[in-house]
Amino acid sequence: MKFSLRDLNVWFGSVHALTDVTMDIPANEILGVIGPANSGKSTFLRTLNRLNELKPNFRMTGDVRLSGADINKTDVDLLRKKVGMVFALPLPLPLSVFDNVAYGPKMHGVRTKKRQKEIVERALKEAYLWDEVKDRLDTPASKLSGGQQQRLCMARTLAVEPEVILFDEPCSGLDPISTAKIEDTMLRLKANYTLVLVTNNVHQASRVADKTAFFLSGRLIELDDTDKIFTAPSDKRTEDYIGGRFG
C-alpha cells in the first residue's frame, strides 16, 4: 500500500471535518474521491501532504502512513516532495515554461543547466506537454492555454520526482478536450505514480479512477472498485449522490 490511514480524525477548531477514516490507497492506481460540498474530501486530500497544518486550529488524531512511514514524523518538505499536488486552477509562476518546471529541482539543489534541461524535458514529456511547447520553452507560461497551463503544473510536480500526486479538481475550469488530455495524462502516469483525484464531476471519477471513495459529512461512506460504485453501490447514500439526487 502506498498510503495507509487508520482512525483518522481531523478538526478545525470545534468543526469535526473528518471522522474515523480508515482506508488504504494502493500504489500505481488512481483513487477517485467524490462527495458533496463540505463532505471532507479536500480535507482528506490535504491530510496526505500535511497542507492542513497551514490552517489555524487544525488538529488531527489517528495514523497516516506513506510507504509504512508515519507522515507526522516525516520532514514536511520531504513529504511534500514525495506527495505533490495539482490544484483546481492552474497557477503557473510568472516565469518561462522552462523555469516553471525547473523551479522545484533548483530549490532542491539541482544546479547544472544540463541536468535541469534533462529534468524539464522528462517532466514535460511525462505530462504530455513536450511536443506542444518544446519550441517555445522561453515563452512566459501565462501565454499557454488553460489546459496546457494545467499540464505545466503537472510537469512542475513531476519534476521533483514525487511518489504520489494529489489532484484537487484539476479540470474544473477546462473545456472537454483539455479535460480529456488531463485525464489521458493521469491514466498514463499511474504506471509510475500513485494518484489521488478529488473531483466534483462524478463522471470524471468513473472515467479514470480504479477505486472510488465517497465521503459525506466527514465520513468515508463507501470505498470500492469504480465499476462497482457506478453500477451497483452498496450504500443508498452513494447511489443517491452519484445519481444526482442530492448534493
Partner 1 sequence: MAEHLQREIREMKKAILEIGAVVEESLHKAVKALQERDEKLAKSVIDNDVEIDHMEVDMEEECLKVLALHQPVASDLRLIVSILKINNDLERIGDLAVNIAERAAFLATQNAIDIPLDFPLMAEKTKAMLRKSLDALVNGDSRLAYEVCAADDEVDAINRQMYLQVQDAIRRHPDRVESLIHLLSVSRHMERIADHATNIAEDVIYMTEGEIVRHRTEDYPSQSRRV
Min dist. Cβ of residue 247 to partner 1 (A)? 10
Residue 163 or 235 having the CB closest to partner 1: 235
> Is residue 206 a contact point for partner 1 (CB under 8 A)?
yes
C-alpha cell at 82: 514525495
> Is residue 225 a contact point for partner 1 (CB under 8 A)?
no
> Is residue 202 a contact point for partner 1 (CB under 8 A)?
yes
Residue 6 or 236 having the CB closest to partner 1: 236
> Is residue 224 a contact point for partner 1 (CB under 8 A)?
no
**Own/partner pairs, 108-115, CB within 8 angstroms, 24+ separation:** 108/81, 108/160
Which range in 25-33, 60-68, 187-195, 237-245 contacts partner 1 by CB under 8 A?
237-245
Which range in 2-10, 77-85, 94-102, 225-233 contacts partner 1 by CB under 8 A?
225-233
> Is residue 221 a contact point for partner 1 (CB under 8 A)?
no
Which residue in 143, 175, 203, 225 binds partner 1 (CB under 8 A)? 203
Residue 84 or 233 having the CB closest to partner 1: 233
> Is residue 35 a contact point for partner 1 (CB under 8 A)?
no
Min dist. Cβ of residue 228 to partner 1 (A)? 9
> Is residue 244 a contact point for partner 1 (CB under 8 A)?
yes
Contact residues for partner 1 (CB under 8 A)? Answer: 202-203, 206, 229-233, 238-239, 242-245
